[in-house]
Structure 1
Amino acid sequence: MTLKETLEQLEALIDERTRTHNIKKGVGDNQYGVKLGDIRKVAKKIKANHALALDLWKTENFDARMLAMLIINPKELSVNELDAMVRSVTYVRVADWINSYVVKLHPDNETLRQKWMLDDHPMASRAGWNLTSQRVNKNPEMIDIPALLDRIENEMSMAAPEAQWTMNFSLVEIGVHHPDYRRRAIEIGEKLGVYSEYPSVKGCTSPFAPVWIKEMVSRQV
């Protein structure tokens, strides 16, 4: 399937309600407004196509980029290529998809994690803290948890919103999965108050770290 054919297929799937919702969430005019489920169906038909994925990404179209991440081969990206892709992202939904479907699967993501953890670019920092949250949960031997808590305490309240979200998630992961540091994680959350007034949907746990940690720990019992 060519780039032109793929874009035409996406355009044929325009859903005005989705487009309006995307705009409310900060997505600009460079989008069609395709339901995520429909994007997944298109990806399933195309399967893996690295070259097409790169062409889709270059369009900067929201829907095209979401599709690109489902058909790209992360292992074929160089460290510099992936770094550039992460920095080119302008919407957090795209950032979360690239972190889940591309960054997470890249063979050199630890090299990038260490680089991004020292970076002020909001999307690079978001990706770095996202990977760090995974290390906290699955590979804690790779990180210094007390040092992470120090950074969160000193930096989270002033961090860019894009990075603040995944930094907060790292704090929660520490509190949930490392009992020895749970009290300090909760105290940091209470001290900073980040997301303490976040409007939560009924039935969903608040992203305020002390509440989130206690809720997740209660489910372990």
Structure 2
Amino acid sequence: MTLTPGASVEEILVHLRALGNEANIAGMARYGIETATALGITTPQMRAVVKQVKRDHARALALWRTGLRDARMLAILTAEPKRLKVEEARTWAGDFNSWEVVDTAADLFTETPFWRALVEEFAADPREYVRRTGFAMIAGASVHRKTEPDETLLAYLPLIEKHATDPRNFVKKAVNWALRNIGKRNRACYGPTLALAERLAASTDKTARWIGRDAVRELKSENILKRLKP
């Protein structure tokens, strides 16, 4: 079945279910992906569907409301960042239940005009996946927002330090990810980021120490030093 840009939610759901694969679901679970509503669609298959149906913001919102993992991934990939409202982003974030959904949505959110406000808001949220979203957004923005002033990203270092003691798995990994990506952005970001990483590495807190040591290890690696060489 070939979908068209005008495909309805119902038509898309029929197509997604036809692509479902139980064996893939087991593999996803091994990577810590929430599979309760998953159909087992692979990334190449999802990309093909995205290419066929194109972006449609109203339809993306309807796909999200189905609650199905694969429909929600398609919703994120076909939503229109310039039409996404802040309340819609908040609603989606409140539904997040898997790191892969978070990390995919974070890239969408950083394309919105209000992304910086969301970073602060989500990082302050006590819910694990919402907080992860804030730091995944920092990590993504450090790479994808090429024209963003370095000062924007460096201003998040205190936020990273503040939450470096959150021991929850999906938070600490995102905090670490954000720290490393800021440091790898360019030479101007490298020094302040490495200084924070080294400070965290010397912390008495186990989580902060892990975050810092892991970041120092990568930031001082030969590949990174060569790439950032003046």
**More moved, 169-178 vs 53-62:** 169-178
Matched ranges for 1:58-207 at <5 A = 58-100=65-107, 102-133=108-139, 138-142=148-152, 145=155, 148-176=156-184, 177=186, 178-191=189-202, 192-194=208-210
CA RMSD, aligned part only?
2.5
**Identity level (%):** 24
CA displacement at 1:149 relative to structure 2: 4.4
Check the 8 A contact 1:135/1:142 in 2, yes or no: no
Letter in 2 for 1:41: A
Q: How many residues end up aligned between the 2 structures? A: 208
* Distance verdict in 2 for CA 1:11–1:179, change over 3 Å: closer
Output the CA distance in 2 between the equivalents of 1:132 and 1:23: 26
- TM-score normalised to structure 1 length: 0.81
- Residues 99 and 182 (structure 1), Cα distance of their counterparts in 2 relative to 1, 3 Å cut: closer
TM-score (norm 2): 0.78
Question: Does the CA contact (< 8 Å) of 1:56 and 1:65 recur in 2?
Answer: yes
Distance in structure 1 (CA, Å) of the matches to 2:142 and 2:8: 41
Instruction: Give, in angstroms, the shift of residue 87 of structure 1.
Output: 1.9
Could you tell me which runs of 5 or more consecutive residues in structure 1 were left unpaired when the two chains were aligned.
Answer: 197-206
Note if contact 1:189-1:210 (Cα within 8 Å) is conserved in structure 2: no
Consecutive unaligned residues in structure 2, runs of 5 or more: 1-6, 203-207
Question: Do the aligned residues in 1 keep the contact of 2:197 with 2:211 (CA within 8 Å)?
Answer: no
Q: Deviations over 1:85-130 (max 9, x none)?
A: 1121100001011111x20111211222232232222222222223
Matched residues in 1 for 2:166 and 2:180: separation? 18
Aligned counterparts of 2:149 and 2:167: Cα–Cα separation in 1: 25
User: Residue 183 and residue 165 in structure 1: after superposition, are their counterparts in 2 closer, same or farther (change >3 A)?
Assistant: closer
Match for residue 46 of structure 1? Answer: 53
